[in-house]
Amino acid sequence: MKAYEDLLNRLREIDLIGQIGSLLSWDQEVLMPKKAAPLRAEQLAWISKTSHERLTNPGVGELLEEIESVGDVGEVQSANIRLVREAYDRATKLPTDFVEEMAIHRSRSIVSWTEAREKDDFSIFRDDLAISIEQARAKADFFGYENLRYDALLDLYETGLTVERLDPLFSGLRENVSPLIKAVVGRGLRPDLSWVIDNNWSQKSQEELSQSVAEAIGFDFSAGRRDLSTHPFCGGPNPDDVRWTTRYNEDEPFGSLFGSMHETGHGTYEQGRPRHLDFQPAGKANGLGIHESQSRLWENQVGRSKEFCEWSLSLWKKFFPENMEGVDSDQLWRAVNLVEPGLIRVDADEATYNLHIMIRYEIEKRLISGDLQVDELPDAWDEMYEDFLGIRSTNSSLGVLQDIHWSMGAIGYFPTYTLGNLYAAQLLEAARSDLPDHDEQIRKGEFSHLLNWMRENVHSRGSLLEPADLIEEATGSPPSPDAFVSYLSSKVESLYGVSA
């Protein structure tokens, strides 16, 4: 059909514009000199404005109507039309000048957040954050919503996600997880971490370890790269150019390794997208919850498993021979699975991680509704950490300034991290039934079996289905927290001998 071919040609141009923007954004966070920030803001604003103008061109709407009138089409075409219709209807609700304004502010806000974090001074970021909140409210109003303004923002990152769906999910998780954490803390057992604390962990050796593990998992470095940034992320324009970052702390090595495994999970997903659907919406990754399932799977359910620790011990000893002298795989396994309330989300253990997300979720709801003002945010943050985890931050860098998301205007994003944890457990449970030798394969460092299962059941399916439908197709069951709760309960019992 000519109309469909014409639409695909338009989508190709829009996608190419987005790919250019992704490179500029990556450069801004990794290599760009500070003085370049004002002009980079203008460049990215032009990219956003141009892409928005192309997508909202009336010709796109006319082509959609013509194609939709035909009726019965194949799976790929049906998915493309569904996704373009959603994007077109959403984009046409946003004025072009508003899109440009958001892009300019995003670039400026990332700079002020970075400075505020470095100087531990919330006031540097305060005004830009206030603008980001106002822009998020305005964006939600442009999109429209049935019940809550925040729902319109949640739906941006996971189709169909609402407060009504999330509230009981988070409540149920907290009811199951909080008793586990209390039981562990009450037991008072703590693994021996002296071999971690008493040593210096050189950045060079951490880099070598991260590189080796990422290569072993299956990330193709001829089609990607690893770099350093303030906040780890995975980006890049296409499956042939996937770029992820991590960060290093010479006081401890686990943050860099598991941050690297997290971003490697994102990266392998991007590299595994269906190439025959390049430039088409159906060929894109399927929502942030699914994306996060891939990163959390490799970071936690593989990376913190006993089998992985047995395999990786030789790498630890290779790159840190003096530090690892006398350390066995059981000590490593217990150290990387320390269950202990902490301040930093990205360093949180599997038991406490979702509580960090719940705090951000509750704060975002209140910020968007107007029940919480920006000036009240630092105190509200500390009070919620006291309530949920029993700890308080000693400064803003460890507290309200730790995440980059709000500087990017990504409000409504955080809940997808918890969805990713739940999806990951459900996917691994399904993969295990097809891979009866999974544990032994991980113990031997044979990661291709699991990666290929994900390639077949998740990566290659792109966005042909909506996220919940993809999970049901891959696992045989609709999304549920049951697999995660079962997995976590079993693991905590093995580590600490306690149960909820």
Q: Give pLDDT tens digits for 88-119.
A: 999 999 999 999 999 999 999 999 999 999 99
Amino acid at 270: E
Name the average pLDDT for the chain: 95
The residues annotated with a catalytic role in the active site are 263
User: Does residue 11 contact residue 59 with C-beta atoms inside 8 Å?
Assistant: no
| Model pLDDT, residue 498 | 85
Measure CA 474 to chain center. Answer: 20
| Model pLDDT, residue 70 | 87
Q: Is the pLDDT of residue 77 over 80?
A: yes
User: Is-above-0.85 flag for pTM?
Assistant: yes
Q: Where are the domains of the chain?
A: 2-144, 163-496
User: Does residue 341 contact residue 185 with C-beta atoms inside 8 Å?
Assistant: yes
Q: Give pLDDT tens digits for 251-303.
A: 999 999 999 999 999 999 999 999 999 999 999 999 899 999 999 999 999 99
| Model pLDDT, residue 48 | 93
Residues 248, 219, 460, 266: what is their CA dihedral angle, to the nearest 10 degrees? 0
Q: Which helix (H) or strand (E) holds 268?
A: helix 254-271
Length of the chain counted residue by residue: 500
Q: Give pLDDT tens digits for 315-365.
A: 999 999 999 999 999 999 999 999 999 999 988 999 999 999 999 999 999
Considering the segment(s) 163-496 as one domain, its CATH architecture is: Orthogonal Bundle (1.10)
Distance (Å, whole) CA 196 – CA 324: 9
